[in-house]
Amino acid sequence: MRQARLCQVATLLLLLATASRAIAVPADTLEAGVAAVIADAGKLELRARARRALGEKFDVRAFHDAVLAEGALPLDVLETLIDDWIARRKASTGNRQ
C-alpha cells in the first residue's frame, strides 16, 4: 500500500512540477499543497484500515474524533494513534476479526 501511495505522490509531484513551470507558483505554496495531498491520502488509508479491521462496528464519527483529538500530527504519529484506537475498539466491542 505504501508503494502505491509513493507512486501516487511521485506522479503528483511530476504534475505539480510541470504546472509550476507553466504558472508562477511560489515554492512554499507548492510544498503546502503537496503536504496536504499526502496527508489526505494518509488519512483515507487509515480510515480504510479501520473500516476493514472493525467491520460493521466501524463508526466514522468516532474515527474522525480520534483523528482530530490530538490536533495536527505528523502522519506516522497519527498512524500509531489510530492503530491503538483500532485495537481499543476491537477489544471493547469483542470484534476479533
pLDDT value of residue 97:
45
Q: pLDDT tens digits, residue range 20-45?
A: 555 555 666 767 777 777 777 788 88
Q: pLDDT tens digits, residue range 7-22?
A: 777 777 777 766 655 5
CA distance 84 to 87: 5
Other CB atoms closer than 10 Å to residue 20's CB: what's the count? 15
CA distance 34 to 91: 36
Q: What are phi and psi of 59, to 5 degrees?
A: -120, 110
Q: Please count the residues of the chain.
A: 97
* Region 40-61 average pLDDT: 91
For residue 88, the number of C-alpha atoms closer than 13 Å in the C-beta half-sphere is 9
Query: pTM score, two decimals?
Result: 0.63
pLDDT value of residue 60:
94
CA distance 47 to 58: 9
Q: Shortest CA distance to 49 belongs to which of 79, 76, 72?
A: 79
Higher pLDDT, 27 or 58: 58
